[in-house]
Chains A and B, each alone.
Chain A
Amino acid sequence: MEGGTAIDGLTACAIIAKAIGSAAALLAMGGPLFVIAFRQAPATVLQMARQIAVAAAMIGIAVLAVRFGIRAARISGMGFAGAVDPMMLGFVWDSPLGTAAIWRMAGYLCVLGLMMPKRGGVAVSLIGAGLLAVSYTRVGHALSDPQMLLSALLVVHLLAVALWVAALLPLRRAASVPAGAALLHNFGVLASVTVPVLIIAGLGFAWIMAGSLWALFGTAYGLMLLAKVALVSILLMLAALNKWRLVPALARGLPEADKALRRAITLEVAIVGLILLATATLTSVTTPPIHL
């Protein structure tokens, strides 16, 4: 397959670390957005959103260090021993990954502001969300031409995705607390705007990377992208089921509605995990057709 690289042990580690890093970054980015967007949510739900974002920021910092080591090992040709080679680590630091790491580290530290009791902490964490989103424009495929457009599309895509991903577990909690139905309804209203935005921004980015419709079917990048789009389609169907069937059923107090909704959201979480794996693979071992 044109534009694909064989996946060895180190590359597999790199993909898994990248997927975990993306999950951490999305949760850390989305937590502050959720807390600001749904200030009226039940206190236990907001508390959960804050705790997840803070934990994600801490995990994200650790994964960042691990990814540095894995990348050094990959370019060293020395196997895992290369992960601590000072010269290779220096090259990684000098590369765009080093630049992105500075933005990302600053972002994670700001997100930890959610631990502060005052409102100022939320404002700081919002800045953190922005820094995290920008960090992704400082490395990888967003550095291609047209860089400004790609970066803008990526920031919008990531912030919208982050709000959705970070909301999943708090919404699952909301399904079993009084007044939770109102929050779930409000989230559905907001998502009816943010989800189309994330789809349009994501497809715009992918369209520029692919260059043509034919490239989707003839290249490794295209096929991974199609796999990702297929998973996102399943996620959208589940989200639609939640919005139009399960959330109204919960609001009407129908029996078993909360259980069905929690199950559906759990499934959404699992699919998001698969999408992150597909995305990590897409951006690690395939070359966008515009670069072939």
Chain B
Amino acid sequence: MKTSILAAAFALTATFVLAHAKPATMTPEDGSTVTAPEVIAIHFDAPMRVTAFTLTGPDGDIAVTRTVGMEPVTQFDAAPGSPLLPADYTVEWRGMSQDGHPMQGSFAFAVAD
């Protein structure tokens, strides 16, 4: 009885439907070969707070400028500090989806002449 009262009381206060967000598309695409991109983007299917974003090239981490802060977003963009030279690059990101789950992912692309 107590349980059902508790469940009913809680049900009345239910608020938002939250779920895992996950990246829907990445630019450049994972495994693609592209000309030097001006922007590296991740599109999430639900708001994601991107807490860490690293672009790594042949000489180590590359400074990027985020166009958004740490607020939850569905579209995350970051621009490399200088044009990317032909090489292989890896992107790693970490974040938190709205249901509180820590999320992470990575993708790689190559820049050709």
Contact = CB atoms under 8 A, between A and B. Distances in A.
Interface residues of A, number: 37
Contacts of A14: 102
Interface stretch (B4-12, B30-38, B82-90): B4-12
Given A155-B3, A156-B7, A74 B94 contact: yes
Contact of B19 (A5, A91, A143): A143
A140 B99 CA distance: 6
B14 A148 contact: yes
A143 B17 contact: yes
A71 B104 CA distance: 12
A287 B10 contact: no
B18 interface: yes
A75 interface: yes
A126 interface: yes
Nearest to B92: A77
Contacts of A97: 100
A229 to B, nearest CB: 22
Main secondary structure of the interface of A (DSSP, over half): helix
Contact of B20 (A134, A139, A287): A287
Given A95-B96, A126-B2, A287-B20, A76 B10 contact: no
A159 interface: yes
B95 interface: yes
Contact of A291 (B6, B8, B19, B52): B19
Interface string B23-55: 000000000000000000000000001011010
Interface residues of B, number: 29
A130 interface: yes
A14 B104 CA distance: 15
A77 B54 CA distance: 9
Nearest to A14: B102
Most buried by B among A88, A95, A130: A95
B6 A134 contact: yes
B63 to A, nearest CB: 15
B49 A91 contact: yes
Nearest to A74: B102
Contacts of B7: 151-152, 155-156
Interface in A108-148: 126, 130, 133-134, 137, 139-141, 143-145, 147-148
Interface of A: 5, 14, 71, 74-78, 87-88, 91-92, 95-97, 100, 126, 130, 133-134, 137, 139-141, 143-145, 147-148, 151-152, 155-156, 159, 287-288, 291
Interface of B: 2-3, 6-8, 10-11, 14, 16-20, 22, 49, 51-52, 54, 70, 92, 94-96, 98-102, 104
22 contacts: A75-B96, A76-B51, A76-B52, A77-B94, A100-B100, A130-B2, A133-B6, A134-B10, A139-B100, A141-B99, A143-B19, A144-B17, A144-B19, A144-B99, A148-B10, A148-B11, A151-B10, A151-B11, A152-B11, A155-B3, A155-B6, A156-B7
